[in-house]
């Protein structure tokens, strides 16, 4: 509790001291939160795979492409809002912080209404366009529709967490996130195993857990971050304030949506292989998430670190932080790749009951993506730095390049090379998406140096 209070009173935590140490200290609670989240996804896959079988796991895998598209849009949108909040925290502008929070909350409400209104009627047509096998259609549709009912809770959970992160506190969201995961796991077991509600039960458990986290988050921010809360005049900050937040939030949301659209195309190609391959990929992606988790955690820390230091006018610390983040990401990627060699097959075997063929496919996918994941880590470090600086175009181009490779995979690689083409999608996408980031950063550094 002492640490929690210290963080809430020290918003400039990332603007002093050794960059690598500050990033690591900020990232550790994020890592713990992601680890807890991974335990949930593993438990969820285990429950669905063991009690609902291959078709149940495959249906959730198909539905997850649409859910991740929505999820990516929400993360990008609220992440853009929090970058502006973090920049103002770094500059010590209390009035600006309140206006930023007001704009973010108002835009989050608008986004919740729009996303829910779009998702409910479009779920079935999208699943049909994705060539979802007939035996998986109803289960996948039920999962998407139930999750869509919880969009508003998910949006505000991320918006409030973003406000807390912007203040330099990564520990408190960990506690809130952990509580939500525990609730989710308990409800998962209760709804699926005890009540036998099937896929609907798995989706409902997640939605209810998100509502619990939202209630706790509101209570926390009112108690600990009262000075961040908008006053009456802050809600009428004007079109310019809303425009700045919407511009950056939309740019980051577009970036995520472009990537997820590419993933939907790849999933569409995978759906042509049938339920067994779909289930194998769905299980393997749980292990892939384990590989990528520490890299995404470092990148999230780098975004807040960069935003605060840029707001404080400490551009030299931004450069040092990027270099150290790249070295850290490379080392983490190599370590996770080596770990796959021993843990990949045993983990996917937990989800794929009595299916050695599916286990073999999943293991091959894990090894190919695992040994190239360091490319992702370096790319994420550059992308997060540019996002923290408030840049929009380069991260969007990054996403466009990633999607171009996904389209190439969906229409060329996978049809021509089959399953090995599926395995190559991620490495090629990571490689291509880094190109505009490295060029943009070089140009930006030259401009800042001349300035």
Task: Report pLDDT digits (tens) over 84-125.
Answer: 998 898 888 888 899 999 999 999 999 999 999 999 999 999
CA gap 67, 62 in Å, rounded: 9
Residue % of the chain over a pLDDT of 70: 95
In angstroms, what CA-CA distances link 374 with 94, 185, 289, 396, 435? 39, 31, 13, 21, 15
Give, in degrees to the nearest 5, the angle at Cα 16 between 12 and 17: 140
Query: Residue 13's pLDDT band (boundaries 50, 70, 90)?
Result: low
Q: Report the range of poorest mean pLDDT among 214-223, 394-403, 413-422.
A: 394-403
CA gap 220, 214 in Å, rounded: 10
Q: What is the pTM of this model?
A: 0.71
The pLDDT mean for the chain works out to 86
Q: For residues 247 and 38, is the Cβ–Cβ distance under 8 A?
A: no
**Mean per-residue pLDDT, 10-32:** 77
Sheet strands (E) in 6-154: none
Give, in degrees to the nearest 5, the angle at Cα 433 between 427 and 436: 150
Please tell me whether residue 390 adopts helix, strand or coil conformation: coil
CA gap 202, 220 in Å, rounded: 27
Give 319: exposed, middle or buried? Use CB within 10 Å, 0-12, 13-18, 19+: middle
Helix segments in 352-392, DSSP class H:
356-370, 373-388
Please tell me whether residue 353 adopts helix, strand or coil conformation: coil
CA gap 143, 68 in Å, rounded: 12
Q: Please, what is the angle between helix 419-450 and helix 393-408, to 10°?
A: 160
How much is the pLDDT for 388?
87
Could you tell me which residues come within 8 angstroms of residue 243 by beta carbon, excluding any fewer than 6 positions away? none
Torsion from C-alpha of 330, 331, 333, 337, nearest 10 degrees: 140
**Mean per-residue pLDDT, 30-44:** 78
CA gap 294, 165 in Å, rounded: 17
Q: For residues 148 and 70, is the Cβ–Cβ distance under 8 A?
A: yes
Concatenated DSSP letters of 217-273:
HHHHHHHH-GGGS--GGGGG--HHHHHHHHHHHHHHHHHHHHHHHHHHHHHHHHHTT
CA gap 20, 329 in Å, rounded: 12
Q: Report the range of poorest mean pLDDT among 61-70, 236-245, 430-439.
A: 236-245
**Does the structure show a pLDDT above 90 at 257?**
no
In angstroms, what CA-CA distances link 161 with 49, 177, 275, 319? 31, 9, 37, 26
């Amino acid at each position: 509790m002492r640490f929690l209070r210290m963080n809430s009173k020290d918003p400039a935590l990332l603007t002093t001291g050794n960059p690598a140490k500050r990033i690591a200290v900020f990232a550790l609670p994020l890592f713990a939160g992601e680890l807890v989240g991974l335990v949930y996804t593993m438990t969820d896959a285990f429950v669905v795979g063991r009690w609902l079988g291959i078709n149940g796991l495959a249906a959730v895998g198909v539905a997850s492409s649409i859910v991740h598209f929505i999820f990516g849009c929400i993360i990008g949108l609220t992440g853009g809002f929090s970058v502006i909040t973090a920049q103002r925290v770094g500059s010590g502008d209390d009035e600006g912080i309140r206006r930023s929070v007001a704009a973010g909350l108002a835009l989050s409400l608008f986004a919740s209404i729009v996303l829910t209104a779009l998702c409910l009627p479009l779920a079935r047509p999208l699943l049909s366009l994705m060539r979802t096998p007939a035996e998986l259609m109803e289960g996948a549709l039920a999962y998407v529709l139930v999750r869509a009912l919880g969009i508003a809770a998910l949006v505000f959970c991320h918006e409030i967490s973003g406000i807390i992160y912007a203040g330099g506190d990564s520990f408190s969201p960990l506690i809130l996130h952990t509580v939500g995961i525990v609730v989710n796991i308990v409800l998962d077991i209760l709804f699926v195993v005890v009540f036998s509600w099937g896929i609907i039960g798995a989706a409902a458990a997640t939605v209810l857990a998100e509502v619990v986290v939202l209630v706790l988050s509101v209570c926390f921010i009112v108690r600990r971050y009262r000075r961040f809360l908008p006053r009456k005049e802050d809600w009428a900050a004007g079109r310019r304030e809303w425009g700045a937040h919407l511009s950056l939030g939309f740019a980051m949301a577009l970036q995520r949506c472009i990537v997820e659209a590419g993933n939907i195309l790849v999933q569409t190609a995978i759906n042509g292989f049938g339920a067994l391959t779909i289930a194998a990929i769905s299980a393997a992606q749980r292990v892939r998430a384990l590989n990528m988790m520490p890299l995404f955690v470092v990148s999230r820390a780098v975004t807040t670190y960069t935003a605060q230091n840029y707001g404080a006018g400490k551009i030299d610390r931004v450069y040092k932080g990027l270099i150290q983040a790249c070295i850290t990401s490379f080392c983490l990627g190599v370590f996770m790749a080596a770990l796959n060699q021993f843990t990949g097959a045993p983990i996917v075997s937990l989800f794929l009951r009595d299916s050695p063929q599916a286990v073999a496919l999943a293991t091959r996918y894990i090894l190919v993506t695992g040994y190239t994941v360091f490319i992702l880590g370096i790319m994420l470090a550059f992308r997060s730095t540019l996002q923290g600086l408030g840049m929009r175009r380069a991260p969007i181009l990054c996403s466009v390049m990633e999607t171009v490779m996904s389209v190439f995979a969906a229409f060329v690689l996978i049809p021509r090379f089959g399953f090995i083409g599926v395995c190559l999608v991620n490495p090629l996408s990571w490689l291509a998406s880094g190109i505009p980031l490295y060029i943009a950063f070089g140009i930006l550094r030259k401009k800042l140096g001349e300035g």
